[in-house]
Amino acid sequence: MKPVCVITGGGSGIGLATAKILGQAHYIVISGRNAPKLDQAIAELKSDGVDAEAFVCDVADRSSVEQMAAHAKSLGRIAAVINAAGMSPHMGEAKKIMEANALGTINVNKAFYEVMEEGSCVVAISSMSAHVTPKIIMPVGCYKYSRSDKEIFIKKMMARVNLFPQKLRSDLAYCISKHFVIWYAKTDAAKMGEKGIRIVSVSPGSIATPMSELETDSARSIKYCAIKRFGRAEELANLIAFCISEKASYITGIDILCDGGCVASGYNPLKHR
């Protein structure tokens, strides 16, 4: 049996591109909320010779994630979990975005910690936006509640978002939740390490995916990049493949930017509009 790789948000974009690359050496389980979209992705993967199956799962639902983790475990050794599921600003209202991105991260890490073994790796997908949004906006002092009471955690996170005008709240919920993803991966590294599990986060810049095509900031940021083009989903997928490999066996608890040099330019989405 091939080692198992679970990819949330695997129905399209970065998740699907990653499934195609990792599927050469892994049995792939892709997940998402949209069953027809997953079915289409599975057909595409199988046409490329990838052994794969789909599991309908909402990462914001703890029970749903626990069921997926148990199923993945039943298939064999879980070598990697790529948490690419999430919602961007155009996909819903602020609280739903916060739940999908922040609660989803908590649920995936906790559920798969119970079933993963030594030598495995978790990769959480964050965003360049976590780096370019002014740090004063980030409610870092509230992040600790993610480990004690998730209801209080979400309430406090949304209290920060709701300080801003309604038209900005979905964007801010996205930026704050992706900043939390980085924090959670870093602060989970020691716990994961007790079982020999590594964890990293990856922060993509403007990547050419169906999701990014709907975000105006993605196109706007390109002129500030050192590499003046959209990134390709395959470029992120190759980085993720490296992160889970033995070649990266001493890397954990960090965030890796893959943004074409945008953050290095000093790009600020609040100023450069």
Question: Which tens digit of pLDDT belongs to each residue from 11-59?
Answer: 999 999 999 999 999 999 999 999 999 999 999 999 999 999 999 999 9
Chain center to CA of 211: 13
Provide the pLDDT for residue 232.
96
- Residue 211 belongs to a domain: yes
How does pLDDT run across 223-261, given as a tens digit for each residue? 899 999 999 999 999 999 999 999 999 999 999 999 999
**Is residue 269 in a domain?**
no
Q: How far apart are the first and last CA of the chain?
A: 51
Residue 124 and residue 4: Cα distance in Å, rounded?
17
DSSP assigned state of 3:
P
H/E segment holding residue 176:
helix 166-193
- Which range marks the domain in which residue 74 is found? 4-263
Q: Is residue 271 included in any domain, yes or no?
A: no
Q: How many helices (H) and strands (E) does the chain have?
A: 10, 7
Greatest distance between any 2 Cα atoms in the chain: 52
Residue 18's closest CA among 81, 104, 109? 81
**Number of structural domains, the chain?**
1
Band the pLDDT of 191: cuts 50, 70, 90: very high
pLDDT band at 268 (very low <50, low <70, confident <90, very high): confident
Give the model's pLDDT for residue 267.
87
- pLDDT of 124-147, one tens digit each? 999 999 999 999 999 999 999 999
Asked whether the predicted pLDDT for residue 271 surpasses 70, the reply is: no
Query: Do the domain assignments include residue 8?
Result: yes
DSSP secondary structure of 108-151 = HHHHHHTT--TT-EEEEE--THHHHS-GGG--GGGGGGGGT-HH
User: Domain with 85 in it: what CATH number?
Assistant: 3.40.50.720
Phi and psi at 251, nearest 5°, equal -105, 120
Distances (CA, A) of 111 to 70, 108, 220, 265: 8, 5, 37, 38
Task: Find the range with the poorest average confidence among 165-174, 212-221, 222-231.
Answer: 212-221
Note if the pTM is more than 0.75: yes
| Strand 255-258 with 198-204, pairing | parallel
* 270 within some domain: no
CB neighbourhood size of 110 (10 A): 16
In a domain, residue 51? The reply is: yes
